[in-house]
Chains A and B, each alone.
Chain A
Amino acid sequence: MTDSVDARGLSCPQPVILARQKMQSMGRGAFEVKVDTDTARENITRLAQKEGWEVESKEAGREYVLVLTKG
């Protein structure tokens, strides 16, 4: 079971803060972040890649599931 962060409906920059906290607490591994705006998707992707995480974005209806992985 992958850890999951639900950042849907939160305004900027809360989705990024949540994703960042998760990255910091895990250090490495994999988890998913649910977002529902393109801004949140882009911001999390940019930050995660800068921190050395790989990001896979899956579109689910009008929402996105971002899978963040760091080996």
Chain B
Amino acid sequence: MNKTKNFFGTRTGIVATGALIGILAALLQKMGNPGNMGICVACFERDIAGALGLHRAAVVQYIRPEIIGFVFGALIAAYAFKEFRPRAGSAPIVRFFLGFFAMTGALVFLGCPWRALLRLSAGDGNAIAGLIGLTAGIAIGVAFLKNGYNLGRTQKSYVAMGWILPLAMGALFIFLLLAPQMGDNGQTGPIFLSAKGPGSMHAPIAVSLLIGLFIGFMAQRTRFCTMGAVRDIILMRDFHLASGVLALIAGAFITNLILGQFQAGFENQPIAHTNQLWNFSGMALAGLAFALAGGCPGRQLFLAGEGDGDAGVLVLGMIIGAGFAHNFSLASSPKGVGLYGPLAVLIGLAFCFFVGLTMREKI
């Protein structure tokens, strides 16, 4: 067991994980997931919000099994390696709103950090402004961290507490399979599944779930984190996590080339817009929020799977945030930035600065 444990902590382990995520994401797209969206934690949580009726954007409603798989894959890994540690209590309401505004920023850009990498690896030039924005946001977060920003310590908690988010994910899976139609004389919701648009595009449920479980397992072991990759370079010149991110880009790039999914350019890229100012700013907000929360959206799912209740609260903040993003016209679409998206990004940045400046202790 120790030898296996050591493998995952090595450079080879993180590189293998990143490359596999890239390859599997490109394959998921081939098997039905939306364009350059083989995996996107933000988009998929947004689809879940829609499926639950938290927003009524009819083209982005689906319960994505990948998200459920991520949580359970991490849970299985955490139990297998005795790392399931139920803990919570580090400023959960702040983490909820960090998740809320991170989702706002991600939906202005149209993707989480993972999708930004996948978009780049498929030739979408608009991802460049997003990735520069992400880096800028994380750099601001690092400055706060260096000045003592800290959300406080977690407390140990009950095993049952650590199971609450995984159980909620299990409930989502049941909703996906049963898709109950009880509203309006059995004609509609409460579970809404898109008939057209990105929400209707998906790989077979079993494939999505199994790949999600596999990635969740690997990522829990290796601590794969896209935000952490950039943060560790800025903070400590440490390239461990970054090597996984580069491997993800390489794995997805090569697979996209082989599958004919690579198309370089800025115009007419799948589910993307060309407003670079807000591609940059949206991801800057997401990067800052994830840096303040201590992990990218994927990492938050893996942490939730190993018993971190605060990470679970952040996930809920992201799902609720996605509901607001569509209901309040904050989310972008391929046509361009949403009417109130820019204002929401500014409010989100103001919130993050408020948190970063006021929540610190002399350490």
A interface residues with partner B (beta carbon < 8 Å): 8-14, 16-18, 20-21, 36-39, 42-43, 46-47, 50, 62
A9 pairs with B153, CB closer than 8 A: yes
- Chain A interface main SS type: helix
A13, A17, A18, A36: which contacts B85 (Cβ < 8 A)? A36
Q: Which residue from chain B places its CB closest to the CB of A41 in the assembled complex?
A: B9
A11, A18, A39, A50: which contacts B151 (Cβ < 8 A)? A11
**Bound CA–CA A32/B180 (angstroms):** 55
A13 pairs with B228, CB closer than 8 A: yes
Chain B contacts of A8 at CB under 8 A? 153
**Bound CA–CA A12/B141 (angstroms):** 13
B200 CB within 8 Å of chain A? no
Q: How far is the CB of B239 from chain A (nearest CB, A)?
A: 11
Interface size on B, residues (CB 8 A): 27
A17 pairs with B145, CB closer than 8 A: yes
A13 pairs with B223, CB closer than 8 A: no
Chain A contacts of B231 at CB under 8 A? 13
- Annotate B149-186 by CB proximity to A: 1 below 8 A, 0 otherwise: 01101111000000000000000000000000000000
Q: How far is the CB of B289 from chain A (nearest CB, A)?
A: 14
A46 pairs with B240, CB closer than 8 A: yes
Chain A contacts of B150 at CB under 8 A? 10, 14
A42 pairs with B9, CB closer than 8 A: yes
B145 pairs with A14, CB closer than 8 A: yes
Given contacts A9-B87, A46-B238, 15 further A-B contacts (CB under 8 A): A8-B153, A11-B294, A12-B228, A13-B235, A14-B145, A16-B236, A17-B146, A17-B235, A17-B363, A20-B236, A38-B81, A39-B223, A42-B9, A47-B236, A47-B238
A13, A18, A36, A42: which contacts B294 (Cβ < 8 A)? A13
**Bound CA–CA A39/B240 (angstroms):** 13
